[in-house]
Amino acid sequence: MAILITGGAGFIGSHAAVELLNNGYDIVVIDSLSNSQMESVHRIQELTGKEFPFYEVDLVNKVQADEIFHYHPIEAVMHFAGLKAVGESREIPLKYYNNNITGTLNLCEVMAKHNVKNLVFSSSATVYGNPNSVPVVESFPLTVTNPYGRTKLMIEEILRDLHVSDSSWRIAILRYFNPIGAHESGRIGESPNGIPNNLMPYITQVAIGQREHLQVFGSDYGTHDGTGIRDYIHVVDLVKGHLKALQYLERNEGVEAFNLGTGKGYSVLDLVHNFSEVTSREIPYQVVPRRVGDIGICYANPEKAKNLLGWQAEKGLKEMCQDSWRWQTSNPNGYNIAVKQ
Ligand code: NAD
Ligand code: WQD
C-alpha cells in the first residue's frame, strides 16, 4: 500500500516525499508540473536512493486521476496540489476555483470510488483572515479576503460535508503558517517562477545579487518595528507534521483542523537581520507602502498539534535562514538551467 502525494514535485510536496520515503513508506507522486519541474522528482530519488512511480497528471482531469487508483493500491492521500499565488488569484479567479476546487472534487470522488478515505489536506493560515488576536487558535472564526484563500476555505467546508455524508472518512486539515527553509542537503527547495511573491525567496534572490533590494511592505503596523509579523516554519518541520497527521488518522475517524506553526512571530526586519547575521550578506531594503490585502500580525497557537499529533516544530529561524541560503547558493536559478528574468 502506498501514500499518494498530489503536487509532489512542488516545494512542500517534494519535502514530504523525502520524509515519507526515509520513513519507509511507499509513495506514488502525481503533479501537473504547472508550477514545478521534473528535476525536483529526480532530486527526491537522488536524495533517498529510492525509485517511485511519478505521473504527470492534472487533477482537473478526473479520468487521469482515476487511473492512478486503478494502477496502485493507495491507502491515503497527501493533497498538496493547488495554485497558491494570492495576487494572481485576484486577477484570474476562475482559474484558481477551477484548479483548486475542481481538482479536489475530482480527487475526493475517485478516492471514494476506490474506497480510499484517508486524506491530509494542505490548508493555510489565510483562512483566519485578519485575526482579532494572536496566537491564532483553530476555533477562531474563519474568513478570507482573496480567491486563493476562498478556495482553501471552500475545500475545508467541502471536506466537512463529505465527512457528514460518510463518517468513515478520516481527514486532517493542516493550516500552514509561513513555510520557508529547504532540505539540509540544498538539493530540493522552493523554486519560484519569476518575481517571488513571498518574503524569503525574495531575500535570498537579493542576497545572491539577482535583485537589487527588498521592498518592505509597510512599517506602520502595530509591531515592535512597524513591519508585519509572521510565524515562519521550516519546511522540514512542516512535513514531519504531515507524517504525524497520517499516523493520527490511523487512530482516529473524523475531520480535524491543525495549525502547523512554531508559535513564534518574527517581523520582516527580524527576518532580514537574522538572515544577514547567518549568511554575512547585507540585504539592502526600502520601505514602501503596505501591500494590498496584507495583515499586521499572524502567528499560531500550535498546542492542538502538540497534544493530538505529538508534533512540534524544532528548527529555529537561524536554521531556516541557513537552509534557504544553502538552497539558493547551490541552485542560483532554482531548478531552471536558464537564467530567470
Ligand atoms: P507549489 O506550487 O510549489 O506546489 C504545488 C504543486 O501542485 C506544484 O508542483 C504544481 O505543479 C502542482 N499542481 C497545481 N495544480 C495541480 C493540479 N490541478 N493537478 C496536479 N498538480 C497540480 O506550492 P507549495 O508551496 O508546495 O504548496 C503546496 C500546498 O500547500 C498548496 O496547496 C498551497 O496552497 C499550500 N500552502 C502553501 C503555503 C506556502 O506558503 N508555500 C502556505 C499555506 C498553504
Ligand atoms: C510575509 C511578510 C509581507 C514580500 C502569503 C499568503 C498566504 C500563504 C503564505 C499560502 C508580510 C512581507 C513580503 C516582500 C515584504 N500562502 N513582505 N516584502 O503574506 O504572510 O502569506 O504566503 O497559503 O496565503 O498570503 O507571506 O511571504 O508573502 O509575506 O515586506 O517582497 O513579508 O508584507 O508581512 P504572507 P509573504
Active site residue 148: yes
- Give yes or no for residue 36 having a pLDDT over 80: yes
pTM above threshold 0.95: yes
Q: How far apart are the first and last CA of the chain?
A: 43
Test site for ligand 1: of 30, 32, 67, 78, most ligand atoms within 8 A of the Cβ: 32
Ligand 2 in reach of 230 Cβ (< 6 A): yes
How many other C-beta atoms can be found within 10 angstroms of the C-beta atom of residue 168?
A: 10
pLDDT digits (tens, 9 = 90+) for 272-295: 999 999 999 999 999 999 999 999
pLDDT digits (tens, 9 = 90+) for 90-132: 999 999 999 999 999 999 999 999 999 999 999 999 999 999 9
Q: Which ligand does the CA of 146 lie closest to?
A: 2
Ligand 1 in reach of 36 Cβ (< 6 A): yes
DSSP H helices in 135-290:
147-165, 199-207, 235-251, 268-279
Domain boundaries, the chain: 2-330
- Give yes or no for residue 338 having a pLDDT over 80: no
CATH architecture of the domain covering 2-330 = 3-Layer(aba) Sandwich (3.40)
pLDDT digits (tens, 9 = 90+) for 303-337: 999 999 999 999 999 999 999 999 999 999 999 86
pLDDT digits (tens, 9 = 90+) for 216-229: 999 999 999 999 99
Ligand 2 in reach of 217 Cβ (< 6 A): yes
3-state percent breakdown (helix, strand, coil) of the chain, nearest 5: 40, 20, 40
Atom of ligand 1 nearest to the CA of 176: 43
- Average pLDDT over the chain reads 97
Test site for ligand 1: of 29, 84, 123, most ligand atoms within 8 A of the Cβ: 84
Rounded CA-CA distance 327/214 in Å is: 19
Q: Coil, strand or helix: which one is 76?
A: strand
Q: What is the pLDDT of residue 339?
A: 44
Rounded CA-CA distance 202/214 in Å is: 7
Query: What integer is the mean pLDDT of 65-87?
Result: 98
- Give yes or no for residue 341 having a pLDDT over 60: no
Pair 31, 9: CB distance under 8 Å: yes
Q: Which residues pair with 56 in a beta bridge?
A: 31
- The Å distance, Cα 150 to ligand 2 centre, comes to 17
Query: What integer is the mean pLDDT of 39-52?
Result: 98
Q: What is the pLDDT of residue 77?
A: 99
Nearest to 180 by CA among 246, 232, 136: 232
Test site for ligand 2: of 230, 266, 320, most ligand atoms within 8 A of the Cβ: 230
Atom of ligand 1 nearest to the CA of 36: 9
- Give yes or no for residue 58 having a pLDDT over 60: yes
Query: What integer is the mean pLDDT of 150-164?
Result: 98
Rounded CA-CA distance 281/301 in Å is: 32
Exposed, middle or buried by CB within 10 Å (0-12, 13-18, 19+), for 339? exposed
Q: Which ligand does the CA of 58 lie closest to?
A: 1
How many other C-beta atoms can be found within 10 angstroms of the C-beta atom of residue 50?
A: 17
What backbone phi and psi angles, to 5 degrees, belong to 2?
-125, 160
Candidate list 25, 148, 202, 221, residue with the active-site label: 148
Peptide bond between residue 147 and the one before it cis (omega within 30 degrees of 0): no
Cell of 339: 537564467
- Give yes or no for residue 340 having a pLDDT over 70: no
